[in-house]
């Protein structure tokens, strides 16, 4: 499975931005992680492609929403009220089969190339 992420860019604080991640095949779940300079990769959100489970990290809850279009094997991350601390490279990931580790990088077998989100103050 190959993942193609898109939608990053430079925005101002308070703006909104949407990311998308298209998988080349069917997956069990997809997730978003981010990594800021000098920091470890951080979980952002995940969703089962069946649509019966989605979870967003506490650090972005209320501002970020994850969704999916199962027919397109695509997951989306809508980011609202962006803050400078949201600046990072955002990575999408996919799990080909069942896993209980949806909030950890180890739960995913496929990774996209990363897309940079920069939020200016």
3-state secondary structure of 85: helix
Asked whether the predicted pLDDT for residue 96 surpasses 90, the reply is no
Average pLDDT over the chain, rounded to an integer: 96
CA-CA distance, 22 to 13, in Å (whole number)?
27
pLDDT band at 53 (very low <50, low <70, confident <90, very high): very high
CA-CA distance, 54 to 30, in Å (whole number)?
10
Residues in Cβ contact with 101 at an 8 Å cutoff, skipping those fewer than 6 apart:
107
């Amino acid at each position: 499975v190959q993942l193609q992420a898109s939608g990053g860019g430079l925005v101002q604080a308070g703006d909104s931005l949407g990311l998308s991640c298209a998988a080349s095949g069917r997956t069990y779940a997809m997730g978003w992680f981010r990594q800021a300079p000098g920091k470890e990769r951080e979980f952002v959100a995940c969703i089962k492609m069946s649509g019966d489970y989605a979870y967003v990290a506490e650090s972005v809850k209320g501002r970020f929403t994850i969704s999916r279009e199962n027919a397109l094997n695509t997951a989306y991350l809508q980011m609202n009220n962006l803050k400078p601390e949201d600046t990072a490279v955002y990575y999408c990931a996919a799990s080909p089969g069942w896993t209980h580790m949806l909030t950890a990088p180890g739960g995913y077998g496929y990774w996209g190339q990363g897309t940079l989100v920069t939020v200016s103050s």
